[in-house]
Chain A
Amino acid sequence: MTQSVAPPVPPVAPEPTARSRRPSRGRPGWSVSVLLIALAVVGPVAAVLVDVANGELPDWPRNLGDMVVTTLLLMAGVGIGTLVLGCGLAWLVTACTFPLRNVMVWLLVLPLAMPAYILGFVFLSIFDAAGPVQQWLRSALGDFVEFSVATLPGCVIVMSLTLYPYVYLLARAAFAEQAPSTYDAARTLGAGRGRAFFRVLLPLARPSIAAGLALVMMEVLTDFATVQYFGVQTVSVGVYTVWKGSYDFGSAVQLAALVMLFAVAVLAGERLMRGRARFTQQGGHGRGLQPVRLSVGRGLLALLACLLALAGSFVVPVLQLVWWAVDHARGDGPPALDSGFAQAFSNSISIAVITSLTCVVLALVIGHAIRLGGGRWLRAAAQLTTFGYAVPGAVIGIGTLLLFDYLDRALEALGVPGGTGLLVTGSVVGILYAFVVRFVGPASQAVDASYQKVPVTLTQSALSLGAGPLRVLGRVHAPLVRSGVAVALVLVAIDAIKELPVVLMLRPFGFNTVSVWVYQLAKENLWGLAALPALVIVALAVVPVFILFRQVRTADTATRQRRSRGSL
């Protein structure tokens, strides 16, 4: 299928093989770095597995089969949901002009700022049997209207709404970056718009879409809050039920290992979807995708589609939170924000910035090392680094504790008095380490998706012209994978702001983040108090989305300028 689209694409660069010359052997320094990163990522999981292997192997819970089926159904549902929403909306805003399109392009990313557990709660309070919608329906239609939305389909809807931006972002980037020349060529050769989209653009964007979808699947696999709201018993819920209900850490880890197995399957699936294809961009940008001006009616329909997605995933929950916050402020309860919250706020920002910068640097190192060549083991190591994202946060948290515990004992055995002391939970070192373990994956996915589009020949030319690897990275690759880097920064920053279990587990005394703050109130159902801080999380996560939007827009403008220059 992909081979059939080869003609419009200028020669696809060959995969570097052991026989090809210079870049193939890799650079030891870069390769070793990747190996070290992989080791660091695998460390906590390995520590947990070792710890459990030392005990007896526990029984599997009796409803394991049900949990596996539920997990698969949820993954399939959310996969389809995010694909349709993500690709559909990305195509709509890239290929068509309609009222407010330029605003929609970035507004549609906003749901990324809405933690799924908040949307889930709001969704239930509005739509469940006791909520206002069904109450109204009952008064209008009669008492027979009474159904639960805390079901698998309800969960699929909520998760699709919060997670589609992963697919949307990467698909849009791919459409915008790749579309120009190939799409034009397909159109010139007589393909209709739909045909050019489905037969040329979509296959070309496949690596990016697959990367986005893989991120979505990881989120689905490790989520435990939203699924619990909806009574959807996935394997991850099983991990918590067994751990908390039976005090059986061993069984819980055994289930967590199963979650990781799912994740490995997802990653393998992603590789399969990418296939052997390496679509790279050659030469200059073409005339670009000429957006079609839709008729008034269709334009309004397109706008309506965007607005619906946006309303369901962002506007309605924000309004509900505002309502709760105002309601609380009118009462005589304690103020929702105080100095403790201000401290939590600055902690969240610091952690998000440090984590996202670190992850992006590591992702660049990985991407660059692969580009410089190196054998199968390098690819395997690179693959391992994406693994942390698939591990439930609590498992990484425990693994980090254990790892530092081993380190502590090893140091003491070597005669270092006090060992590491309380490094891991006495400072934020533990949190930062666990965050990098967990989030280098998405950063790597995003950067890698961009790297795929940099022609290998370009790297080879730069190297053969005598530039050192670092110079090639700085002067050639970095500018070309800019959009991937921006996406990576944003994804990691937002994830770091929202992440909960790792912080809960590893934080030093008195260390709060905004998500811990909201969680502790939400856990006690104090939504009046939690609403304003929850809005702050959303606002905080909107900032990186904004930065991303600016980046995307400047890229668009640059393309447009290039286009106009070309036409002169």
Chain B
Amino acid sequence: MRTSALLATGLTLAALSATAGCGLFGEDQPADLQVYSARHYGSEEVFKQFTKETGITVDFLGGDNSELLERIKAEGEDSPADVYMTVDAGNLWNAADQGLLQPIDSPTLDKAVPQQYRDSQDRWFGLVLRARTVLYNPDNVKESDLDPQDTYAGLADPKWKGRICMRDTSEAYTVSLVASLIDLYGRDKALDIVKGWVANDVDVMANDVLLIDAVDAGTCDVALVNHYYLARELEERPDLDVKLYWASQEGAGTHVNISGAGVVKTSDNKEQAQELIEWLATKGQDDMIAGNHEFPVNPSVQPDEVARSFGTFKPMPIDAEAYGALNAEAVDLLAEAGYK
């Protein structure tokens, strides 16, 4: 009978899943440190290297920043998290602001991480830097067309109508750039700038690689991208028809953002958690930037070859507190300007 066949299939599947399920519920020996990380790229190799050098084992859980944050909050006292790692200064500020991180007193970190890349109360420390700058197609754009003083604001000029491409409004890169513009120029001027982009029919794309492709194909003349996406693409396709331009070098500097880490308040292994962050900011810097071409925060460490090939540049100073506090305003401003 077909019913019994169906039943049999069901039972077999149930039995199968029960055996497989044992693995699901079984507890492995937990590692010394539990890291919650919103930073995915290459994290596993970095922690492996740390374990090799120090003998301290690390489990890491990847996820999106906001989800991980809510999770730490909901887990409360029971949370196994020792270290919280994330991208974007605003996110770091927010985690500290919500009382999830504890201050660390570490001369090593004070020395390794410049003041502007760490929390004023030492609850988090920046580890690597990313720059969001201009990429242009040299066939359609001369370097002198770009405004060396206020490059981001300059893209609101009508001469760029139909020629600029950027990321969507739900992307943190866009939000934190606009937050930094609010911080720099005040809300009114920042609103005018974003309205200018919209008036120029800014083509909004879903990821940085699409932006790079569009500039390469000449369908966009100018785009805003993170430098490391370009570095990664150039490694694969060295003949891309694109050029990087360091924005606002005669003005406030190029917009940069940090990835960083802090010790979770409920951690029951604070010493080793601190040791991990110290290692990441010193010996581990090369491992952090390996493969992802970011800039190390530690001034005594050199960027990798591809990142170096872009030349040195003046970064816009980071004010994490301002970024964090202004993020909500940036979201609101983008909506008001009709930015998609």
| A interface, CB within 8 angstroms of B | 61-63, 121, 124-125, 128-131, 134-135, 146, 148, 150, 228-231, 233, 237, 240-249, 331, 346-347, 349-351, 353-354, 357, 394, 397-398, 401-402, 404-405, 408, 421-422, 425-428, 478-479, 482, 485-486, 501, 504-507, 509-511, 516, 520, 523-525, 554, 558
Q: Say yes or no: B80 contacts A405, CB within 8 Å.
A: no
Instruction: Say yes or no: is B65 at the interface (Cβ < 8 Å to chain A).
Output: yes
Across the interface, do B175 and A245 meet the contact criterion of CB distance under 8 Å? Answer: yes
Contacting residue for B74 out of A61, A350, A398, A525, CB 8 A: A398
Give the contact stretch, choosing among B112-120, B127-135, B186-194, B205-213: B205-213
Of the A-B pairs whose beta carbons lie under 8 Å apart in the complex, a sample of 28, sorted by A's number, is A63-B335, A124-B210, A129-B203, A129-B219, A130-B216, A148-B203, A229-B206, A241-B331, A245-B169, A246-B331, A247-B324, A349-B20, A354-B21, A398-B67, A401-B74, A402-B74, A408-B76, A408-B78, A422-B78, A425-B71, A425-B75, A427-B25, A504-B63, A505-B63, A506-B71, A507-B61, A516-B62, A520-B40
Q: Does A125 lie within 8 Å of B17, measured CB to CB?
A: no
Q: In the bound complex, do residue A150 and residue B205 qualify as a contact, i.e. CB atoms below 8 Å apart?
A: yes
Contact indicator B74/A150 (Cβ below 8 Å):
no
Residues of A close to B10: CB separation below 8 A: 357
Asked if A246 contacts B74 (CB within 8 A), the reply is no
Interface size on B, residues (CB 8 A): 69
Q: Which are the 6 A-B pairs with shortest beta-carbon distances?
A: A246-B328, A401-B74, A130-B217, A129-B219, A245-B331, A350-B20
Task: Judge if B250 is at the interface, Cβ distance under 8 Å.
Answer: no
Q: Is B229 an interface residue (CB 8 A)?
A: yes
Q: Does B53 contact A (CB under 8 A)?
A: no
Given A150-B205, A426-B27, output 13 extra A-B contacts at Cβ < 8 Å: A125-B213, A129-B217, A130-B216, A228-B170, A230-B206, A231-B340, A349-B20, A354-B17, A398-B67, A398-B70, A425-B71, A520-B40, A520-B62
How many Å from the CB of A492 to the closest CB on chain B?
Answer: 12
Q: Which residues of B, 30-54, contact A by the 8 Å Cβ criterion?
A: 30, 34, 40-41
B248 contacts which chain A residues (CB < 8 A)?
none
Given that A129-B217, A353-B16, A524-B40 are contacting pairs, would A245 and B170 also be in contact in the complex, using a CB cutoff of 8 Å?
Answer: yes
* B327 at interface by CB-CB < 8 Å: yes
Partner of A247, one of B6, B41, B232, B328: B328
Please give, as numbers and ranges, the residues of chain A lying within 8 Å of B110 by CB-CB distance: none
Determine whether the beta carbon of B330 is less than 8 Å from that of A245.
Answer: yes
In the complex formed, the residue of A with least CB distance to B174 is A245
In the bound complex, do residue A357 and residue B13 qualify as a contact, i.e. CB atoms below 8 Å apart?
yes
Most chain B beta-carbon neighbours within 10 Å: one of A128, A243, A244, A507: A244
Q: How far is the CA of A329 from the CA of B27 in the complex (A)?
A: 35
In the bound assembly, the distance between CA atoms of A146 and B172 in angstroms comes to: 28
Determine whether the beta carbon of B34 is less than 8 Å from that of A124: no
Min C-beta distance of B259 to chain A, whole Å: 13
Q: A229-B206, A246-B328, A357-B13 are known contacts. Are A510 and B59 too (CB-CB below 8 A)? A: yes
Contacts of A240 in B (CB 8 A): 170
Complex: chain A residue closest to B338, CB-CB: A63
B336 to chain A, nearest CB (A): 6
Q: Tell me if A504 and B64 are in contact (CB < 8 A).
A: yes
**Alpha-carbon distance A205/B127, docked complex (angstroms):** 60
Q: What number of residue pairs across chains A and B have CB atoms under 8 A from each other?
A: 175
Contacts of B21 in A (CB 8 A): 350, 354
Interface of chain B: mostly helix, strand, loop or mixed: helix
Majority secondary structure of chain A interface residues (helix, strand, loop or mixed): helix
CB distance from B254 to the nearest CB of A (A): 21
Asked if B28 is an interface residue, CB under 8 A from chain A, the answer is: yes
Inter-chain contact A247/B94, CB cutoff 8 Å: yes
Cβ contact within 8 Å between A421 and B66? no
**What's the minimum C-beta distance from B162 to chain A, rounded to whole angstroms?**
9
Across-interface contacts of A401 in B (CB, < 8 A): 70-71, 74-75
For A131, list chain B residues within 8 Å (CB).
Answer: 213
CB distance from A334 to the nearest CB of B (A): 10
Do the beta carbons of A150 and B217 come within 8 Å of each other? no
Give chain B residues whose Cβ lies under 8 Å from the Cβ of A129.
203, 214, 217, 219-220
Q: Provide the bound-state CA to CA distance between A246 and B64, in Å.
A: 15
Give the CA-CA distance A354 to B245 in the complex, in Å: 53
Whether a CB of chain A sits under 8 angstroms from the CB of B168 is yes
Is the CB of B141 closer than 8 A to any CB of chain A?
no
Chain B positions 169-228 with a Cβ under 8 Å from a chain A Cβ: 169-170, 172, 175, 203-210, 213-214, 216-217, 219-220
Which B residues, 319 to 340, have Cβ-Cβ distances below 8 Å to chain A?
Answer: 324, 327-328, 330-332, 335-336, 338, 340
Q: Who on chain B is nearest to A247 by CB?
A: B94
State A350–B34 Cα separation when bound (angstroms).
25
Check: B2 CB closer than 8 A to any chain A CB: yes
Would A228 and B206 count as touching, CB distance under 8 A? yes
**Interchain nearest-CB distance for A49 vs B (Å):** 15
Are A353 and B3 CB-contacts (below 8 A) given A61-B332, A135-B217, A523-B40? Answer: no
Asked if B301 is an interface residue, CB under 8 A from chain A, the answer is no
- What chain A residues lie within 8 Å of B17 (beta carbons)? 349-350, 353-354, 357
B67 (CB) vs chain A CBs: closest residue: A505
A231–B80 touching, CB < 8 Å: no
Chain B residues closer than 8 Å to A63, beta-carbon distance: 335-336, 338
Contacts of A349 in B (CB 8 A): 17, 20
Given A245-B175, A350-B20, A353-B16, CB of A510 within 8 Å of CB of B208: no
Considering the complex, give the chain B residue whose CB is closest to the CB of A493.
B13
Q: Is the CB of A124 within 8 A of B209?
A: no
CB pair B214–A130 under 8 Å, yes or no, is: yes
Most B C-beta atoms less than 10 A away, residue of A405, A426, A524: A524
Query: Can you name the residue of chain A whose Cβ is closest to the Cβ of B17?
Result: A353
Q: Judge whether A242 and B331 touch: CB under 8 Å.
A: yes
* Bound: A398/B70 CA distance, A: 7
Complex contact A231–B168 (CB within 8 A): yes
- C-alpha gap A130/B16 in the complex (Å): 47
